[in-house]
Chain A
Amino acid sequence: MDKRVDLGVAVGFLAFGVWLLVSSYRIPQGSVPDTIGSGGVARVLAVAVIVLTAVVIARRLIRWRSTGVLVTAEGSADNPAHPASARRGLGMFGLLVAYAIGVYYLGYPIATPVFVALALWLMGIRSAMMLVALPIGYTLATYALFVGVFGVLLPLGVLSVWDYYLWFHF
């Protein structure tokens, strides 16, 4: 793993700990105060996070010069027999965020086939059949299951004007 990212993740947790500690002192006072109070547990957790991340950061910095950029993996490593790309993983995350926004504004029936097609393309699938038939088939199947069977009102976005029909209220 990249020791710089490892350090960055630890700094992220450290920042979270500091935010938690500061916020715990800003909680409004309740009417029935108890021994610990509303912020007591949060303060203990914040201090634990700050101290422990400081240990992780110190460990990393002490060995900084004696190790290369890539160090022994501490988390889930990739399959060593195949190439890996962090950009693809994070690209998929970006696509997911865009999909969620798309579902909200455009609606599930429009955003879903677009997302599935783009995600398959990102994963290296180039077959026109797969990029067209699978997204449409998946969208129709899940829409029928969730709206028709489970009664979930999936977001319709710009299609809301037809909600009476699209939510099967007829």
Chain B
Amino acid sequence: MSFFLHSLAQGTAYLADPLFILIVVAGTVWGIIGGIHPGGSATLSVGVALPFTFVMNGPQAVAFLLAVLVGINFANSLPSVLIGVPGTPSAVLTAQDGFRLHQRGETGTALGIVYLSSIVGQVISIVFFVAFVVPLSNLAYLFLSPELFAMALLGMTAVVGLAGRSIVKAAISAAFGLAIALVGLDPLENVPRFTVGLPDLQDGVNSIAVVIGLLAVSEVIRQCRQVYPWSVAKIRIRSIRFPGRAVLRRILRPVLLGTGLGVVIGVAPGASAEAASYMAYQQAKAMSKTPGEFGNGSVEGIAANESAQQASQAGDLIPTLAVGIPGGSTMVLILAALTLHGLVPGPLLIKQSPDLLFGAVGGLLGAAVLLALIGWMMAKVAARLAGLDRSVVLVVALALTLVGVYSVDQSMFDVFTCLLFGLIGYFMLRYGYAVAAAALGVILGDDIEANLRQGLLIADGSFVTFLSRPVTAIVLLLALFLLGYGVRSEWRSRRHAPASLDEGLLDAESEEVGPRA
């Protein structure tokens, strides 16, 4: 209990530091600008921002990236309301109800609910975040090399098992990422491996360059396949009014419901903000006195959806920081930022570097306060920001990413590495290979190998002794279960999936292909 209160107090204390406040402000504003564009993914915004953390320390870097995420989660719902196009998949239901309200001339009501639900969801989820992380980090004394190996493997299988359409391709991606992490000096025997004669690879590949290439550059190249404007109708900002008390009373229950569900669902490895928002929306509909309004401009629906989105981020952060198991690609980028500062993701992270937890709390809290101060104004000017040219945003994002990657170690080799993995990531993205699994493999690969081999040394080289440790066995069983679940899900979906284009999803390929009927 004392560490719980201490963490909250220390996190709040960070907000007395002007530099820390500046970093949080920069992160939140960056997130809002990144999230406000339809289709501008959270991964891209965080990926472009990540190299900039090289000028910060660990807690500042975590706070900055979390502030970016808070800004994105808030802003991605603004285009949903104003133009009916969600910024990210988790804002789809907001688009459904919010845009209907906007069409009815109730833009202020829709934006006001997005604003309030985001802030309330964010603030409450911070308390949940600390409440879950602290006891989990206290279990760190249970972890020696075999357990650390098992936990890292669980993180990999969670990303692979819950990857989506093809578990086989996700497993290939994970193995590819892990193999890339092996390049460089062997951690135990100190001999060079897989360096293909390049002196720059003696110390291994720069994991930041690889991760940004796989997650961010690949995504921008993919988006460059299409040229189209983000058309935004002109809106009279002065006519937008904040919602009245009656509306605020109606959204109280769905906001609390969405926050609770968001945290709980976010904790589950691989569960996304999308899942949290959909479930919160359905539950709010089931509990509503006016379920008929859902899908047709429901204030309760928007409230549940928005609060769940924000809260799921804090939930997602719990396994990421407490045990090193990220829920998705944005959390993989957070782990990558930690490695940039010499920190090792895993169960010992918070125990060895409690400052990170305080930084995370400070970042989340600071971003929530900032949203409370400028969020309403940003919501009103969103229409103008969303009117930025999509092509310009993509080109600037690419150029910024490369200069950011160069800045980490001032190395052109890292830039070329980033580009190579950007191209590989592009093909992986397009053809169903899980780039997040590959990126996580790159980050965890070193530790998985080192802990496996050190664990075997502890167990006198015996795999049986290694597996007979209770925590290791339980965690490995859980990993096996997740993998089995993924195989079963894919087998089921393949039984019902159409094989050819005639029956299935259309996809533009190789040349200019027009809109489909």
Pairwise interchain contact A112-B412, C-beta atoms closer than 8 A: no
- Per the 8 Å Cβ criterion, residues 81-100 of A in contact with B are 81-90, 92-93, 96-97, 99-100
Pairwise interchain contact B419-A72, C-beta atoms closer than 8 A: no
Pairwise interchain contact A20-B412, C-beta atoms closer than 8 A: no
Bound Cα distance from A90 to B501, whole angstroms: 24
Q: Which residues of B contact A75 (CB under 8 A)?
A: 428-433
A136 at the interface (CB under 8 A from B): no
Q: Pick the contact of B224: A27, A30, A63, A123 (CB < 8 A).
A: A123
Interface residues on A, range: 35 or more
Known: A1-B509, A152-B407. A34 touches B456 (CB 8 A): yes
Bound Cα distance from A45 to B156, whole angstroms: 13
Pairwise interchain contact B189-A33, C-beta atoms closer than 8 A: yes
Contact with B along A88-119 (1 / 0, CB 8 A): 11101100110110011000100010011001
- Per the 8 Å Cβ criterion, residues 218-261 of B in contact with A are 220-222, 224-228
Q: Pick the contact of B391: A30, A39, A124, A154 (CB < 8 A).
A: A124
Bound Cα distance from A27 to B185, whole angstroms: 11
Q: Pick the contact of B392: A99, A115, A130 (CB < 8 A).
A: A130
Pairwise interchain contact A41-B449, C-beta atoms closer than 8 A: yes
Min CB distance B220 to A, Å, is: 8
B191 at the interface (CB under 8 A from A): yes
Known: A93-B419, A99-B402. A120 touches B194 (CB 8 A): no
Pairwise interchain contact B193-A27, C-beta atoms closer than 8 A: yes
Interface residues on B, range: 35 or more
Contact with A along B430-451 (1 / 0, CB 8 A): 1111000000000000001100
Bound Cα distance from A35 to B449, whole angstroms: 12
Min CB distance B513 to A, Å, is: 6
Q: Pick the contact of A76: B222, B398, B461, B515 (CB < 8 A).
A: B222
B2 at the interface (CB under 8 A from A): no
Known: A89-B225, A93-B221. A35 touches B461 (CB 8 A): yes
Min CB distance A23 to B, Å, is: 6
Q: Which residues of B contact A9 (CB under 8 A)?
A: 427-428, 431, 433
Pairwise interchain contact B505-A86, C-beta atoms closer than 8 A: no
Known: A83-B226, A89-B426, A153-B410. A49 touches B175 (CB 8 A): yes
Pairwise interchain contact B172-A34, C-beta atoms closer than 8 A: no
Min CB distance A46 to B, Å, is: 7
Q: Which residues of A contact B481 (CB under 8 A)?
A: none
Q: Name the CB-closest residue of B to A47.
A: B175
Bound Cα distance from A55 to B169, whole angstroms: 10
Q: Which residues of B contact A56 (CB under 8 A)?
A: 166, 168-169, 172
Q: Which residues of B contact A120 (CB under 8 A)?
A: 391-392, 395
Q: Which residues of B contact A134 (CB under 8 A)?
A: 392
Min CB distance B378 to A, Å, is: 22
Min CB distance A119 to B, Å, is: 4
Q: Name the CB-closest residue of B to A49.
A: B175
Min CB distance B205 to A, Å, is: 14
- Per the 8 Å Cβ criterion, residues 36-91 of A in contact with B are 36-42, 45-46, 48-49, 52-53, 55-56, 63, 66-68, 70-90
Contact with A along B398-411 (1 / 0, CB 8 A): 11101100110010
Bound Cα distance from A43 to B515, whole angstroms: 46
Bound Cα distance from A96 to B218, whole angstroms: 12
A125 at the interface (CB under 8 A from B): yes
Q: Name the CB-closest residue of A to B394.
A: A123
Q: B186, B194, B461, B509: which has the most chain A beta carbons within 10 Å?
A: B509
A168 at the interface (CB under 8 A from B): no
Q: Name the CB-closest residue of A to B448.
A: A41
Q: Pick the contact of B182: A41, A72, A80, A108 (CB < 8 A).
A: A41
Q: Which residues of A contact B449 (CB under 8 A)?
A: 41
B17 at the interface (CB under 8 A from A): no
Min CB distance A21 to B, Å, is: 10
Pairwise interchain contact B168-A52, C-beta atoms closer than 8 A: yes
A160 at the interface (CB under 8 A from B): no
Known: A13-B176, A45-B179. A32 touches B188 (CB 8 A): yes
Q: Which residues of B contact A86 (CB under 8 A)?
A: 225, 509-511
Contact with A along B197-232 (1 / 0, CB 8 A): 000000000000000000001001110111110000
Contact with B along A113-141 (1 / 0, CB 8 A): 00110011011110000100010001000
B292 at the interface (CB under 8 A from A): no
Q: Pick the contact of B415: A16, A81, A100, A146 (CB < 8 A).
A: A100
Bound Cα distance from A41 to B445, whole angstroms: 10
A residues touching B (Cβ–Cβ < 8 Å)? 1-2, 5-6, 9, 12-13, 16, 20, 23-24, 27-42, 45-46, 48-49, 52-53, 55-56, 63, 66-68, 70-90, 92-93, 96-97, 99-100, 103-104, 108, 112, 115-116, 119-120, 122-125, 130, 134, 138, 142, 146, 150, 152-155
Task: List 4 additional contacts besides A41-B182, A138-B396; criterion CB under 8 Å.
Answer: A5-B509, A67-B499, A84-B509, A87-B510
What are 12 contact pairs spanning A and B, CB under 8 A? A30-B190, A36-B456, A42-B182, A48-B172, A77-B508, A82-B226, A86-B510, A112-B399, A120-B395, A123-B224, A138-B399, A150-B55
